[in-house]
Amino acid sequence: MAQPLEGLTAIVTGAGRGLGRAEALELARLGAQVVVNDYGQPGRDGSGEASAAPAEDVAAEIRAAGGRAVAHLGDVADHAQARALVQLAVETYGKLDILVNNAGILRDRMVFSMTEDEWDSVIRVHLKGHFNTTHFAAVHWRERAKAAGGPVHGRIINTSSEAFLAGSAGQPNYAAAKGGIVGLTTSTALALGKYGVTANAICPRARTRMTEDVFAGFQEPEDGALDPLAPEHVAPLVGYLAAPAAAQVNGQLLVVHGGMVAIAERPRIAAKFDTAKEVFSYAELDELLTPYYAQRPANETFAAAEVLGLKHG
């Protein structure tokens, strides 16, 4: 029986550890041939010497299980290296069909303490890194669609975060980057839909090197059961979004963790006020808006997140 991703080629960035590793293994299990990308720096803040070992280890794990995989050591936030990553997939397997953007770093600080470098480095790896690989994948798919005279199979799965949905006081850089990724995703979905390409974003919750302090108080099960925060809870959704079955899923944001998938709606208008004159005055806005906000719960911004079981902070 054919696997859903049989004959398809996938790139997974940041795939040497954690979520990326679980996603790469899942895509391979579903039949895809995988380019495992990881820059291999040991520090979750992007510090330390780059190493090919994490990517090579995961690629070897896939091959040992009977799959096909190659490793790529490269910084996806570097435009030229992102180009080389996409070229490697095409040169090795003939085409690219699936792009999973997962690479990222953390440099947490309150906004009043954050340095310019801490801001720039996180935006660079997350947001620019997502753009770079998306750009070169999009060029590839557009050219293939034109040559074929019709749509091709193209899937982009980007990684956002609950830090964007519910806020995160000590992560202004990370939250902004993850919000930007959602904007990049929806724009890409609109631009590439006519070529048969979909672009979606996930907000995963998982116990990884990136979140080791966030989930420090949540102990892993001792009875051998799968950890509710294991990356393996996230990987199946990535596999589904990469498959032909998800052709109608485009421009979506999905929250996933511990056996749950929630589909987030785009922001809706909560209230609307019209001026009684040609232009609003300060007094009129004060008369309309101040009572409106006074009667709303102070934490209502985060109340919607709690419905999904999301943790603020």
Q: Which domains does the chain have, with CATH numbers?
A: 9-264 (3.40.50.720)
Mean of the pLDDT values across residues 77-83? 98
Burial 285-305 (b: 16+ CB within 10 A, else e): eeeeeeeeeeeeeeeeebeeb
Band of residue 223 on the pLDDT scale cut at 50, 70, 90: low
pLDDT digits (tens, 9 = 90+) for 276-303: 999 999 999 999 999 999 998 765 554 4
259: alpha, beta or left, given left = phi > 0 and alpha = psi -120 to 50? left
Band of residue 209 on the pLDDT scale cut at 50, 70, 90: low
pLDDT above 70 for 147: yes
Burial class (CB in 10 A: 0-12, 13-18, 19+), 181: buried
pLDDT digits (tens, 9 = 90+) for 18-37: 999 999 999 999 999 999 99
Contacts 24+ apart (CB under 8 A), 148-153: 150/196, 151/194, 151/195, 151/196, 151/197, 152/97, 152/195, 152/196, 152/197, 153/8, 153/97, 153/196, 153/244
- pLDDT, greater one: 112 or 228: 112
Mean of the pLDDT values across residues 155-163? 94
pLDDT above 90 for 244: yes
Beta bridge partners of 34: 10, 69
Please give the share of the chain, as a percent, with pLDDT higher than 90: 73
pLDDT above 70 for 227: no
Mean of the pLDDT values across residues 64-70? 98
Q: What is the structure's pLDDT at 304?
A: 41
Band of residue 309 on the pLDDT scale cut at 50, 70, 90: very low
Mean of the pLDDT values across residues 47-59? 91
pLDDT digits (tens, 9 = 90+) for 259-270: 899 999 988 899
Q: What is the structure's pLDDT at 299?
A: 54
In angstroms and rounded to an integer, the radius of gyration of the C-alpha atoms of the chain is 21
* Six token digits for residue 289: 């808006």
Q: What mean pLDDT is reported for the chain?
A: 89
End-to-end CA distance of the chain: 45
Q: What is the structure's pLDDT at 224?
A: 62
Burial class (CB in 10 A: 0-12, 13-18, 19+), 142: middle
pLDDT above 60 for 107: yes
Residues catalogued as catalytic: 161, 174, 178
Q: In this structure, are residues 277 and 284 in contact, taking their beta carbons and an 8 Å threshold?
A: yes
Q: In this structure, are residues 43 and 209 in contact, taking their beta carbons and an 8 Å threshold?
A: no
